[in-house]
Amino acid sequence: MTETLKNTGFEEMTLNMGPQHPSTHGVLHLLLKMDGEVITEARPDIGYLHRGMEKLAEKRTWGANIALSDRWDYIASMSNNFAAVLGPEKLMNIAVPKRAEYIRIIMAELNRIASHLIFFGTYGIDIGAFTPFFYAFREREMILDLYESVCGARLTYNYFRIGGVSADLPEEFVPGVKAFIKYFRPKLKEYDTLLSTNPIFMDRTVGVGAISKEEAVDWALSGPNIRASGISFDIRKEDPYSVYSEFDFNIPTGKNGDCWDRYMVRMNEMSESARIIEQALEKLEPGDIMAKVAKVIRPPAGEIYTHVEAPKGELGVYCISDGSTMPYRYKVRGPSFVNLAILQKMLRGLKIADVVAVLGSIDIVLGEVDR
């Protein structure tokens, strides 16, 4: 309790935010202790979407786990698929055909754009601008259409397979992606004029919720959150998986680590993703999309930690195999879970109105926080 509170005889107030709140991005519950408008203590209460995925994973075959992985971070299911197949592939020593690798990367990067678009739209709503949402969803639907033409689903793709991908690209896919990128590039500028440099938006985000470099590392942030603090940490460069080392792309970073920087890093990442997709389309050549893999997948006993750069950050899967058809242990290191933890530190001392700005800028998905 602060001095002023003690002297005046006023009491600290406890405020419950969530689990149903329009801007907690799902079912997050925040317990806030307030001194007037200032937050003195914040405690995120999670688990409202805890579905017991890690336990279920032990009851599902390795292949069926890819379907479960769709539901971790349901905004970027392709990246989850990616993380789910890398482990067993390495354990079984499978060489994935080149074409499949490029297809995977195109899918993952398109998904990064789709995920950041959702961030852009919902963050606008959090700050009080409704229009960006409609812009973002208009573009996102186009990506979903492309996905639908490949795997028939809009959200839960289940497209990757251990050893490749489930279906080859339909004829209209490559021209579709090219047309989309061509259409999308100018849109990014439009977003910038619409929101990024909007004075009201900047007032609410610049300098709010700054995370220093040391804090970012200490709390093991990843993805755009750590990059906004000025650390160029990206698994695609740090520990290149698949064929990412063949591509030429930059890693956008921020300087101050405040909400606006985190927002800008994501906006810039979208155009980098578009660059990667273009390069991958160039390299795409006809060929196999599946390696020769046994029908029943039984990775030899052993363990491995694989990670991918998901739109939210480092998505790691620590899997232990005992040589049977199901994983022995399947731990998912969700980036949202780790990134959310810092909220308790960040909110202290801020005003109540900043909560949504800070929370939105971390960009969490509850499916991945609670698993």
Partner 1 sequence: MTDQEILAKIAEKFPAVVESKPAAGTLPAYSLTVEAPAASIAEVCAWLKSGGLKFDYLASLSGVDLKDKLQVVYHLYSLEMKHKLVLKVNLDRAVPELPSVSSVWQAANWHEREAYDMFGIKFTGHPYLERILTAEGFEGYPLLKDFIAKPDQYD
Partner 2 sequence: MGLVLDKAPYILESFPGGSYVVTSMDWVINWSRKSSLWPLSFGLACCAIEWMADVGSRNDFDRFGVFPRPTPRQADLIFISGTLTKKMASRVRRLYEQMAEPRYVISMGSCSNTGGPFYDSYSVVKGVDKVLPVDVYIAGCPPRPEAVLLSILKLQEKIMTETISHKK
Q: Which residues bind partner 1 (CB under 8 A)?
A: 46-47, 50, 52, 54-55, 90-91, 215, 217-220, 231, 233, 238, 300-305, 307, 314, 316, 318, 320, 329, 331, 333, 337-338, 340-342, 345, 370-371
Q: Which is nearer to partner 1, 175 or 323 (CB)?
A: 323
Find out whether 318 and 329 touch, Cβ atoms under 8 Å. Answer: yes
Does the protein bind ligand SF4 through residue 48 (CB under 6 A)? no
CA distance 236 to 249: 10
Calculated CA dihedral for residues 46, 48, 54, 55, nearest 10 degrees: 130
Least distance to ligand SF4 from the beta carbon of 71, Å?
5
Does the protein bind partner 2 through residue 367 (CB under 8 A)? yes
Could you tell which of partner 1, ligand SF4, partner 2, none binds residue 137, using a CB distance below 5 to 8 A set by kind?
partner 2
Q: Which is nearer to partner 2, 64 or 291 (CB)?
A: 64
- Residue the block writes with tokens 């039984």: 298
CA distances from 35 to 1, 13, 18, 40, 274 (A): 8, 7, 19, 6, 46
Amino acid, single-letter form, for residue 361: S
Rg (CA), the chain: 21
Does the protein bind ligand SF4 through residue 325 (CB under 6 A)? no
Among 156, 198, 271, 325, binds ligand SF4 (CB under 6 A): 156
Give just the sign of the alpha carbon dihedral 87, 88, 89, 93.
positive
Among 71, 116, 161, 333, binds ligand SF4 (CB under 6 A): 71
Q: Which is nearer to ligand SF4, 71 or 227 (CB)?
A: 71
Size of the site for partner 2 (CB under 8 A): 36
CA angle 188, 148, 308 (to 5 degrees): 65
Q: What is the DSSP string of 266-297?
A: HHHHHHHHHHHHHHHHHH--S--SB----SS-
* Residues contributing to the site for partner 2 (CB under 8 A): 19-20, 22, 26-27, 47-52, 55-56, 59, 67-68, 70-71, 74-75, 118, 121, 133-135, 137-138, 140-141, 144, 154-156, 366-367, 370
